[in-house]
Chains A and B, each alone.
Chain A
Amino acid sequence: MQQQDIDIVIVGGGGAGLRAAIAAAESARKENSQQRIMLLSKVYPMRSHTVSAEGGAAAVTSDEDTLQAHFDDTVAGGDWLAEQGVVDYFIRHAHRELVQMERWGCPWSRKPDGSVQVRRFGGMKTARTWFAADKTGFHMLHTLFQTSLKYPEIERLDEYFVLDIAVVDGAVAGVIALKIATGELTLLRAKSVILATGGAGRLFRFNTNAGIVTGDGMAMAFRHGVALRDMEFVQYHPTGLPGSGVLITEACRGEGGILVNKDGYRYLQDYGLGPETPLGEPQNKYMELGPRDKLSQAFWQEQQAGRTGKFGDSDVVYLDLRHLGKDYLHERLPFICELANVFINIDPVKEPIPIRPAVHYTMGGIETDANCETCIKGLYAAGECASVGLHGANRLGSNSLSELLVFGRLAGEQASQRAATVAFADSPALEEQAQAQKTRLAQLYDAQGEENWVELKRELVLSMETGCGIYREAEGMQDTLETIRNLQARYRNIRLQDKSQAYNTELMQCLELGHGLGIAEATCLGALERKESRGAHKRLEENFQQRDDVNYLKHSQVFFNAEGPAQLHWQDVDTHLSAPAERAYGDAGKGIKQ
């Protein structure tokens, strides 16, 4: 097995990973210390899922806006389950990071005078979302990737699949990775490791996520004893394309798009988001600009009431953009027009776009402290894989791209500082853990079982959708939990068709499925035990339809248990800056301090 000594290993080449790498490099330069920084990613960095983000990144920008307002929106949006100290740090640093991106060449959309333009976004009081047309994530990711090329100290191992982290005496000691091109294993001994492996949306059948968003990093940390926190909060985006799940950005609504049911009625006014705002005059926090959880839930209600239309075999409602006119649409939402045309053969200029909710974002993740460090010393997590505590029970659109930057940077700096002070672990335990991975792979290759990953995966995603969907109840979740545990057992009996070493994508999908099974269990367990409705988590049972601050103003923490089912604990929430209040939108939200 090849081995290298690397001061800082970063797993993941998405927005968070790249930002961390640059921060680490800068930090090392500042301290005049020679540090090797290695970025590993299972796909080339610019293929990472950040590339798909469309809408924008939030930061307080205009003079009328205030930090307090961004703070309040985020905390209320998260139904008071956000760590308020973390939110405070976030809102203070977001603007700086976006300016930094601009300084690195990111082509933010501009006002005629050359300053940066902002747009409205759901759940935000005022327009504070920076955007680069409707390809914000694309431009951010490419800007970060290209900027990273400027730093010779950032080395990369592209198309390396990280199998596991190595932990010695409660501190991270390295990572073990598989070179996809050849199937060889590499052990990277490290002083700091940053996980930036993204979310786990692929656990669900119908989702907006890329194929690689399988929660690998979460599973690795989980197995080493780090808690997965708040996993029950899974964001459904209200506007995915039927069939593929491809996302139609919230910016469509920010620009004035409206949602109607099959009768052409703007149904959102029936769900506490009214009164109806005039066509072409979107108003923050009203109607279409309510938060995602509320909108997705309203869809579900309409569906139950039989007021949704059909597209193919999907139930759909309609996103109508026609009143915005061709020129405006082509200028502001060119990618959306392209996607609708290509994937469902609909021209948004002429027809409303059929849409339905799709799983979009994992609010929960690897628990870290406010400095992005996990309970394993030297192991950091940032980006969608992490639960630093920013989003609480529901993420506001455009907060996560800013999160990648703010916390990616923080993680990078912290990792670099740590690497400057500690030594490489020198222990046979490290070798052993690497060998264990080798054995595990060999066993997978040799396994003569009769299970096939395709079957297992299909059952998993279907079951997650059924049991942990927009609305949940105990029975369904119990079923799902049993299915998952059953699948975990069957997974041990899996068999590969493809036995080759080089580019064995079947092997990788098996490994990803293995990761998914662990995370699914944590998600389902958290959902089952949270006997209240909060943010993205909605229970159908009579007693659980309200938020219950007495019992559940708490983070869920799920711990891995090698011997049996995972364990759930509750953790207090930091609410020292803003006491829980009612979360209301539309006219109902008027006057409520948010």
Chain B
Amino acid sequence: MNKGTSLNNDTSENMKRSDEPIWWGLFSAGGVCFAVFVPAAILFIALLIPAGIIAPEALSFDRARSMLFSLPGLIFIGVVICLPLFHAAHRIRHGLHDLKLGKEHLNKRVTYGGAALLSALALVGFAVGIL
């Protein structure tokens, strides 16, 4: 018989709206940043400059301070650190599910909590720097 399975009873418990749109929204925004901004950031900050291939002075202490503790710096923190963090948290959470590791609600707390904590740290650091 094809009627009356649990799926067809719209008890409110069953039809509960997922809170996923929030995380998915952050994940998507972070994904765009990861794809568009992060490659350039890694390329210059973590590869070309440290390896001395171009402009080793580009990241001198003063230059770095003035660049980071400014409005563009805040944007940088947002699009290169915070949003990608949530992107990563989302994928790690689902990856754990894929690998059948941990417990769903716990994984959720740890991953998004972690992303939130690190983002907060970055913003606090920025605030301290700018003041």
Contacts and interface: CB of A to CB of B under 8 A. Distances in A.
Interface of A: 152, 155-158
Nearest to A158: B2
Nearest to A149: B2
8 contacts: A152-B3, A155-B1, A155-B2, A155-B3, A156-B1, A156-B2, A157-B1, A158-B2
Contacts of A157: 1
Contacts of B1: 155-157
B40 to A, nearest CB: 41
Tell me what chain A mostly uses at the interface: helix, strand, loop, or mixed.
Answer: strand
Interface of B: 1-3
A156 B2 CA distance: 7
Given A157-B1, A158-B2, 6 more contacts: A152-B3, A155-B1, A155-B2, A155-B3, A156-B1, A156-B2
A155 B3 CA distance: 8
Nearest to A156: B2
Nearest to B1: A155
A138 B127 CA distance: 63
Contacts of A152: 3
B38 to A, nearest CB: 41
A155 B1 CA distance: 7
Contacts of B3: 152, 155
Tell me what chain B mostly uses at the interface: helix, strand, loop, or mixed.
Answer: loop
Contacts of A158: 2
B31 to A, nearest CB: 34
Contacts of B2: 155-156, 158
A152 B3 CA distance: 8
A152 B1 CA distance: 12
B131 to A, nearest CB: 62
A157 B3 CA distance: 11
A156 B1 CA distance: 6
Contacts of A155: 1-3
A158 B1 CA distance: 8
Nearest to B4: A152
A157 B2 CA distance: 8
Nearest to B8: A152
A152 B9 CA distance: 13
List 6 tightest A-B contacts by C-beta distance, closest first: A156-B2, A152-B3, A158-B2, A155-B3, A155-B1, A156-B1
A360 B2 CA distance: 33
A79 B70 CA distance: 89
A301 to B, nearest CB: 51
A158 B3 CA distance: 12
B5 to A, nearest CB: 13
B118 to A, nearest CB: 48
A195 to B, nearest CB: 22
A540 B3 CA distance: 55
A385 to B, nearest CB: 24
A156 B3 CA distance: 9
A230 to B, nearest CB: 37
A228 to B, nearest CB: 33
Nearest to A44: B2
A482 B1 CA distance: 44
Nearest to A157: B1
B120 to A, nearest CB: 49
A152 B4 CA distance: 10
B84 to A, nearest CB: 42
Nearest to A152: B3
Nearest to B2: A156
B7 to A, nearest CB: 12
A41 to B, nearest CB: 12
A201 to B, nearest CB: 29
Nearest to A154: B3
A156 B4 CA distance: 12
A391 B114 CA distance: 73
Contacts of A156: 1-2
A279 B16 CA distance: 61
A86 to B, nearest CB: 35
